Amino acid sequence: MGLMLEGKSIIVTGAGRGIGRAIAMMLAESGANVLVNDLGASAQGEGSDSSPASGVVADINSSGGNAVANYNSVSESENAEAIVQTCIDTFGSVDGLVNNAGILRDTIFHKMSEEQFDVVMNVHLKGSFNMSRACAPHFRAQNSGCFVHMTSTSALIGNLAQANYMAAKLGVVGLSKSIALDMSRYNVRSNCISPFAYSRLIGTLPSETDEQQARLKKIKQMTPEKIAPLATALFGDAAADVSGQIFAVRNNEIFLMSQPRPIRSVQTSDGWTPETVSSRVFEAFKGSMYGLDVTADVFTWDPV
């Protein structure tokens, strides 16, 4: 019996460290050819370094896998085209993409600059679009292909001081669903994963008080390697009819996340006025409205 992904060629962006590295390693272990893309920038998106991507490629190849490195930024469309072409030139095809590249520029909203907003959007959302758009013609021509995009519970639920990141990551959810709808006729699938994992993007969490140290200890249980099995399985044949979904992984837990649907309604035969909306609608909906939750308010139990 062959390996699950034998013969498939998959691009993983932001694969030099953390979650991207863990996914790239498991894809290779499952038989895939892997293009390891990583600019090698800091967690804030500054600088570049070829060694993270080269190191992952060396680890994969020394273990009997097949990988090639690429150091381009995904935030420019011409780079995305070059990344995809490198995959095709090296392995003969492109069959899948993991949009994982990301940076953080956390700032409370009323102090956030346009540059802080734009740079995060350019990597997370525009980078995911650029890479997906570069793959799309090849997936359409071969009547197959699979996208896995990384979103975040910061976007799905909420977090403080992350307007740029939340907007980008919720945009990724919309992008994924649009791809799933538009490309289903070509047997192309698109799904999101919201990962809970301790990586350098959250490695600066405070650890001064006993409570903060206890929280950090729990978070450190959730290693990047916990995300890789779901990401890998989504490229397999068993996921052939799985598309347009949002998953979350939290240590040994896997969740299927909800998507917006109507939950309450009111109607009137006379039409609405601002006054009747004020007196009837808000009161009727109040019990079903969402609070200003952050992720920790919803996931209140310890990781399993």
DSSP 8-state assignment for residue 109: G
Residue 71 catalytic? no
- What is the rounded distance in angstroms from the CA atom of residue 289 to the CA atom of residue 93? 48
Helix ranges restricted to H, 153-236: 153-156, 163-183, 210-220, 228-233
245, amino acid identity: Q
Annotated catalytic residue within 165, 186, 198, 290:
165
For residue 62, the tally of other CB atoms under 10 A from its CB is: 8
The C-alpha angle with vertex 153 and arms to 147 and 156, in degrees rounded to 5, equals 85
- What is the rounded distance in angstroms from the CA atom of residue 23 to the CA atom of residue 13? 10
User: Residue 6: what are its φ and ψ, rounded to 5°?
Assistant: -60, 130
Q: Which amino acids are annotated catalytic?
A: 165
